A and B are shown apart, each in its own frame.
Chain A
Amino acid sequence: MLKPLFIEITGYLFIFLFLYTAYFKLVDHDNFSHVLSKSPAISVSLAPILAWTIPLGEILVACLLLVPKTKETGLWLSLALMLVFTSYLGYMLARGDQLPCNCGGVISAMTWKQHLLFNLFFLALAVLAVSFGRQKKKSNPKAGPLSVQGLDYTS
């Protein structure tokens, strides 16, 4: 009973997180692109492309999480996005680069270490949600994605 609830809440948390941060990246698009272009991990020519694909990707994942039938895909993509973001943060911290993070709203106010912890927390949520979904799918293979003991998440 707790696992489906956990998956459900994690989905809502990611919808909130991705839409909240995507909004800032689109509204302050020029600044976001400028900050990306200053990053040693991203080439100057790639920065403008990423400045669009990152927020649009976040919106797409939020939409997938919204629809029960695509929630499982959305959780997998959330996990992938968090892995990419967290790896980037880890790389920047390891390099000792202290570039500003234009990640949106209250998240931008965090230090890199706080940001890394924040990301690790969400990464852990995504890992758990995906693994709970897989466990239940194995125990009930006939059911739809993320269905749990008769509670079909696709309905």
Chain B
Amino acid sequence: MQSGTSMEKILKNIPGLARAERIISERGDVGGAKRLVPVFYFFLFYAAFLNLEGLHHQLATRNFAIFIPRWPIFWADWITPESATIIIFVGWTLSALAAAFFYRHRIARIAGFVGFLQFHAYQSSFGFPHHQWDIWMWVAFLWMFLPDIWNVAEDDERGQQRRSAFLSVFWGAQAYVLLTYSLSGLGKLLSVASQATAGMAHTFSFDIASLHISQMMLRRQETTVLGPLFLEYELLGWALFISVVYLEVVSVIVVFRPDTHRLWGLFLALFHLGTFLTMRAVFVGPVALLMILFFESPFMRSGVSLSEQVAGIPLLGRPFSFALGFLKRGST
């Protein structure tokens, strides 16, 4: 890779990239990553089929008066919204099936992405963006770039480079997903200054969880499973909200701590479960993706202990790890 030498030097000077390169080359299990990619496309087909099953309900209940097609489905203006709905739902299902069956071939993954983008744009064409499938859509975009390595021989030298590229793109998907959580946390922090100086409630106010939960229940006209509990015990809600802000803000750091991937995936899944039980914020899609990307992360060492996983938790890893060790010693 002679022509790549100067590029390597430039890339190694980009913050985080040298570390990412080290994780990929030293920790990456290409076999593990290869096994997870089809799981993504299998689930994509499952989701597409599930939506297709609800097509009649969609046609009967959608308010097409407010349907303004987003740019990926510009062609929907040429036909009736009902026809566009049928084409998009059937098209997504067929393209997802192709991607699930031929996931080893880039052309099928491109088809899977295009079909998915059509559905995503459709969902976001009714007056406001629909974020349920955002990260799935972007991971499908990124994974169009996975090199087709399934049929490359183990001892092929160029194959080795492609395997590294494969792991890099896989790691990119993990980094992107965690970045979205960090952006979400950053938003909660950035709003503090303006809201606090205006004398308003803000992210660190003791009634922050009560306000969010009551507003959501009022708007949805539904009592959630745990909502009333947090309205009754405001400080409990506050503590959990602050924990969530921490969890979100530091998430992107965890992509550089592969031994903590599995644990962090669990924390984020629990966070989504918590927001569902308190505010009925439904993020089923992201939880499934967290499981695919992090529960069996190909960058995590096999047999890594719980205290080693805990040690990688940003800022709090060492005290948590110490407490865990203390508890272990106490129990023996």
Chains A and B form a bound pair: no
Q: Which residues of B contact A (CB under 8 A)?
A: none
